Amino acid sequence: MNELETQIARLWEITETQILQRERFYGNLLAFLEGSEFYTGEDVSLCTCTGPGDLYRLLLGKGDKVYGNDGSRAMLKILEKRMKTLQHWEKPTNLRWQDLPKHYPSSHFDFEWTEGNSLIYTNSWAQRHPDLSKARAEIEKSIAGIAAVLKKGGRWYVDLPKETEISGSHRIRLNAENREIDFMYSLLNDWDQKVRTFVMEESYPGYKLRVTQKAFLITGEELRKMCVPIHFSKIEKLEVGDPHYQGYLLTK
């Protein structure tokens, strides 16, 4: 676990829980998927990138049989801290999506989740100098790994940055670990170069931590071409009022 991975996990937890407040949205997403019978509480599912665990904890709290995984050990450490009274079905795994089939049996899960705009970071998360020229191939390998452990007829929820998302930067004063901090985050989607630049910065008197994350941008149409009919039979665009990302539901 390198220092950058730990720093990014800390800043992402603040962004996810205090700024984007994704927990509220995941309640709506779940209600929609259950209402449409795309997902049922009986499904055995895998959160492929729990992050700090907003969705994973929601599913576990309902008593659903959900397993956890994240490619970052620093993220899993934060997840453990936030588990409080919740119990895992099994200790979350620390695997890259590309390697999921090495651990989980093939055609095992009824449902998988890759939420919070994660897929496009497959070879750049917590990397100081990611090689984005390899990102497309790594996204394809990630999709193959995720699909391999899903049952035929099973479903995969994944989201991408909205193609209409407005770039910009935001400053907020908030409280993290009993300290007042200034928090800034900014995002820039360069669709010509296909690069998303996401910056998070935390500061207080005498201290500043700034990290920049790059990701390879793909459109919904590109996602479709990578998935259907190679690994999945169908892709549906979900209109569930996500203020940040565009959700897709793929059926194997």
Ligand X SMILES: C[S@@+](CC[C@H](N)C(=O)[O-])C[C@H]1O[C@@H](n2cnc3c(N)ncnc32)[C@H](O)[C@@H]1O
CA Rg value for the chain: 17
Range list of β-strands (E), the chain: 44-47, 65-68, 109-114, 150-161, 168-176, 179-190, 195-204, 207-216, 234-238, 245-251
Residues in the chain: 252
**Which residues 84-123 are close enough to bind ligand X by CB under 6 A?**
96-97, 115-118, 121-122
The residue within the footprint of ligand X, chosen from 45, 72, 189, 246 (CB under 6 A), is 72
Q: Which residue's CB is nearer to ligand X, number 119 or number 235?
A: 119
User: Judged by CB under 6 A, does residue 25 bind ligand X?
Assistant: no
Q: Which residue's CB is nearer to ligand X, number 204 or number 240?
A: 240
**Which residues 126-145 are close enough to bind ligand X by CB under 6 A?**
142
Query: Measured at CB, which residue is nearest to ligand X?
Result: 116
Burial level of 240, CB count in 10 A (0-12/13-18/19+)? middle
User: Judged by CB under 6 A, does residue 148 bind ligand X?
Assistant: no
CB of 119 to ligand X, least distance (A): 8
Which strands make up the sheet holding 207-216, listed edge to edge? 168-176, 179-190, 195-204, 207-216
CB of 192 to ligand X, least distance (A): 23
User: Judged by CB under 6 A, does residue 71 bind ligand X?
Assistant: yes
Q: Which residue's CB is nearer to ligand X, number 77 or number 204?
A: 77
DSSP letter for each residue of 36-74: TTSS-TT-EEEETT-TT-HHHHHHHHTT-EEEEB-S-HH
CB of 202 to ligand X, least distance (A): 17
CB of 179 to ligand X, least distance (A): 22
Count Cβ atoms below 10 Å from residue 2 Cβ, excluding itself.
Answer: 11
User: Judged by CB under 6 A, does residue 43 bind ligand X?
Assistant: no
User: Judged by CB under 6 A, does residue 125 bind ligand X?
Assistant: yes
CA-nearest of 47, 57, 46, 48 to 23 is 57
Residues at the interface with ligand X (CB under 6 A) = 12, 16, 22, 49, 51-52, 54, 70-72, 75, 96-97, 115-118, 121-122, 125, 142
